[in-house]
Chains A and B, each alone.
Chain A
Amino acid sequence: MLIFAIARVIPGDPARIALGPNATAEQVENLRLRLHLDQPLSVQYGHFIADLAQGDLGVSLYTNRPVTQDIAQFLPATLELIIVAGLMMILIGLPLGVISARYRGSWADSTIRIFTLLGVSAPSFVWAVILMLLFAYFLPLFPIAGRLADSMTVPTVTGFLLIDTLLAGNIKAFGNAAWHLVLPAFALALSGIGQAARLTRSNMVETYDKPYIEMAESYGFPEGRIARRYAFRPSLIPSLTIIGLDFAAMLGNAFLVEAVFAWPGLSRYGVAVILRKDLNAIVGTVLIISALFLIVNIVVDFLIAMINPRIRLSQRAQ
């Protein structure tokens, strides 16, 4: 109900915006009637709920297609992007934090801290433009826009190109799709990488000062084992929480990176439909993003419980 109400208080007449400045008053009025905009909000809400119950989110005035069709087409592109960005946060952010903590005070620690500070201090769209200029313009190593080279086509099965290319047995296209993902995913992940690395480092540094680490060292345990098992694992929980929150937030925040890299995702679609006051599409997009946000947070809570026996055991006790 809240989403429905918010979509309708955005200023502007959706019918006028959809039909453009040349449309006549009669055309605008006809569309208003067709969209039930002439009726009280309570009646409009009744229509909305009745359609929603049948899985019908209505037609988008932006694309002139069913909103469900739009979401089905654009959601996989965004999910693929943020999953890869999330993996980058884990696979780059956490190791950087471990290295930084393990070799604290060294040049490697200083370099990593500067890098991670840069990551968190600028928004992702700034990094998107910088990365594009550095690695696509001055040093043309990566593609500038889109998900796949113009010369390649892959049958759509899941909408996730990394999966569809493999299902089609097209390794070349798989490599190309992965290559297209690198810059936008990295731009999106940089802030999260910085946060994860810095948090992991500070927690591990704190952990290294604990007596049980000193004891492990005095027993002559290997450095790697101490770092992995006794220092890193307890430090992982705050980092994982942050990565989980960042991952969920990327669903909505990815639009500027999607815009810079011409990534045809749901996030960009969401902003476009808000600017056009496309009521059905706004409600559909916000519903999906909210649902995914909840799911991601539940999954993160579950993972934390898996890692931290105290949480798991306290839950069991309750």
Chain B
Amino acid sequence: MQKTVRSFAAALLAASALTTAVAATTGQAAAQTVLRLDEVAVGELDPGKATDYADSILMFNVYDTLVLPKQGEVGYAPHLAESWETEGNDFIFKLRQDVKFQSGNPLTAEDVVFSFDRMKELGQGLSFVFTKVEGAEAVDEHTVRFRLSEPYSPFIASLVRLPIVDKKLVMENLGEGEGEMKDWGQAFLSSHSAGSGAYKVVSHNPQEETVMEKNPDYFLGVPDKAPDQVRLRYSLEATTVRTLISQGEHDISSQWLPPEVLKSLAADGAQFLTETGGGAFYIKMNTAKPPLDDVNCRRALSAAYDYATGIRMVAITDEIAQGSPSTGAIPVGMYGANPASEVMQRDMEAAKKYLAECKHDPSEFTLEISWIGEVPIEERFALLMQANFAELGIKSEIRKVPWALFTEQVTKPENTPNISQIFVNAVTGDPDTLMYPMYHSSAAGTWQSPEYLKDEKVDALLEKGRTVMSDEEREATYSELNDRLMEIAPTIYAYDRQSVFAASNRVKVPALSDPSKSFGMDGMGFTFRLMEMTGE
């Protein structure tokens, strides 16, 4: 018996010694700096199909676009384009002549035209932002013209979603398919990069990670302090991320960690990075059916909602929350937004006054407050609203709705709940992509527009916002739109979204920690060439 136990103990000891030895050998620091981060969804490498956050991170680092959002202010700055001008409805871009793809091929107007044609032809990803563009043509080797069907000033903003692809490389790697363009290089681009970006893809495993390394020939250069290698990991569990960061084996978490995990990481000394990307949490009221067809009823609910408690519900620490106070319909940082100091506040006196002017008697209806089953935090907001509205004497019932059912319900106003809760982001950072799909009367009946708003003034301002070209005119137009939307209150503007990421102290990310360096667009804060590895 003793012999057996001794043998077992010896075996355990040997295994332990072996693992320690292996740990020691593999724990040796590599000479190059490595940044490790994670995202919940698989990153789509094909830039023509990019939609979500992980895709955007890949796209903004592997590919370049004609323009980039300005850092710390609204508007767009030239990037691959040196300059642009308008001619009627057309936009004409002069390209830089010193840009080469990672393959070594020079970037020309033909590549821009190819990238646009490819995106339109595939019809996936964010191709819908180019619906007003009839076509693109190469005027000469470094000049490209986009022909638009009608005046559309947000087109410049849309270009941050048109990554330029290496035509020659893609044409050499066309997969099976019909016609001259076969598969448009979809098979190739789903696992290879064909961009000019500051980082090139070394390997891509959709279940595990995408590994990228610096492109030494990047046309703007890549600072030495930027990470040499980046490993974007996919679908890590919260427990795993927490352990990895604590053990120094991970650098930046996704924004989807539960608040309690973020809190515990902060207690371990992790820093918080934040990004406000032109998105907000909207509580939408169905204006097509009683009692919220009455503007005073809607105003009463808007005034009765407890904005401050709503922010506390998404707080991580006393200083950081996954939302910042709303100032109106348009999130702070976009054209037309109210100043950050003019935050929405609860006003029960005003709420009672508005309710008294409502044509419906509150005792005669029960509001249906829905929440999306896949977003548990919305249930808490539904309960908050139920309590807030009860103080006005308004009865309500809370209903959980799966996303798939919700998108079906909102296609008919009579099936749409009185109150729905939605997180919406401007995919290009321009207020047009946020406001038009929500409030233009032609857009009613989608998940973004369960208000069924029909307001001529709102329609006119949304259309004007698409035609005026100068920054000043756009600011004035959207400011007027913001005021109008506050006045008719189709929505309770609950809070502006703020993504919070836990990070180790081995990395500095000015675009996610310094408001004067932020891009105001989801995912662009993860521009790796602008990050600094501290060597800690």
Contact = CB atoms under 8 A, between A and B. Distances in A.
Interface in B5-31: 5, 16, 18-20, 22-23, 25-26, 28, 30
A242 B492 CA distance: 58
A141 B16 contact: yes
B388 interface: no
Contacts of B126: 22
A74 to B, nearest CB: 6
Nearest to B249: A144
B1 A106 contact: yes
Interface in A125-156: 129, 132-133, 136-137, 140-146, 149-152
Interface stretch (B236-244, B300-308, B454-462, B525-533): B236-244
Contacts of A172: 25-26
Contacts of B246: 137
A136 B247 contact: yes
A16 interface: yes
A24 interface: yes
B26 A151 contact: yes
A46 to B, nearest CB: 21
A103 B4 CA distance: 11
A136 B242 CA distance: 12
B447 A21 contact: yes
Given A64-B190, A129-B239, A140-B23, 8 more contacts: A16-B404, A27-B127, A63-B190, A70-B207, A176-B26, A261-B240, A262-B235, A262-B237
A147 B447 CA distance: 41
Given A19-B51, A73-B207, A64 B5 contact: no
A269 interface: yes
A178 B18 CA distance: 11
Interface in B186-211: 186-187, 190-191, 205-208
B206 A62 contact: yes
Given A16-B407, A19-B51, A136 B243 contact: yes
Contacts of A26: 123, 128
Q: How large is the interface on B (under 10, 10 to 19, 20 to 34, 35 or more residues)?
A: 35 or more
Interface string B274-302: 00000000000000000000000000000
A48 interface: no
A238 interface: no
23 contacts: A11-B404, A16-B404, A19-B51, A21-B447, A22-B126, A30-B123, A62-B42, A63-B206, A64-B49, A73-B205, A132-B240, A141-B20, A143-B23, A144-B240, A145-B233, A175-B18, A176-B25, A179-B26, A259-B237, A262-B236, A268-B207, A269-B207, A272-B42
A65 interface: yes
Contacts of A74: 207
B19 to A, nearest CB: 5
Contacts of A12: 404
A20 B126 CA distance: 10
A108 B1 contact: yes
B160 to A, nearest CB: 15
Contacts of B427: 22
B1 A103 contact: yes
Contacts of B19: 141-142, 179, 182
B55 to A, nearest CB: 9
Contacts of B16: 141
Nearest to A13: B404
A216 interface: no
B121 to A, nearest CB: 11
Nearest to A151: B30
B233 A262 contact: yes
A64 B46 contact: yes
B393 interface: no
B321 interface: no
Given A19-B51, A262-B236, A99 B4 contact: yes
Nearest to A25: B446
A264 interface: yes
B51 A63 contact: no
A176 B49 CA distance: 36
Q: How large is the interface on A (under 10, 10 to 19, 20 to 34, 35 or more residues)?
A: 35 or more
B432 interface: no
A173 B187 CA distance: 31
A261 B19 CA distance: 17
A62 B378 CA distance: 26
Interface of B: 1, 4-5, 16, 18-20, 22-23, 25-26, 28, 30, 34, 36, 42, 44, 46, 49, 51-52, 123-124, 126-128, 186-187, 190-191, 205-208, 231, 233, 235-237, 239-240, 243-244, 246-247, 249, 402, 404, 407, 427, 447
A260 interface: yes
A124 B307 CA distance: 43
A309 B243 CA distance: 51
A22 to B, nearest CB: 6
B5 to A, nearest CB: 7
A58 to B, nearest CB: 13
B247 A137 contact: yes
Nearest to B131: A24
Given A62-B42, A64-B46, A144-B244, A11 B237 contact: no
Nearest to B28: A151
Nearest to B189: A64
Interface in A188-233: none
A262 to B, nearest CB: 5
A65 B127 CA distance: 20
A144 B243 contact: yes
Interface in A148-184: 149-152, 172, 175-176, 178-179, 182
A249 interface: no
Residue among A16, A140, A143, A145 with the most chain B CB within 10 A? Answer: A145
A20 B127 CA distance: 13
A287 interface: no
A5 interface: no
B156 to A, nearest CB: 20
A136 B250 CA distance: 14
B22 A145 contact: no
B247 A179 contact: no
B433 to A, nearest CB: 9
Contacts of B123: 26-27, 30
Contacts of A288: none
A65 B1 contact: no
A137 B404 contact: no
A105 B364 CA distance: 74
A23 interface: yes
Contacts of A63: 42, 190, 206-207
A19 B447 contact: no
Contacts of A99: 4
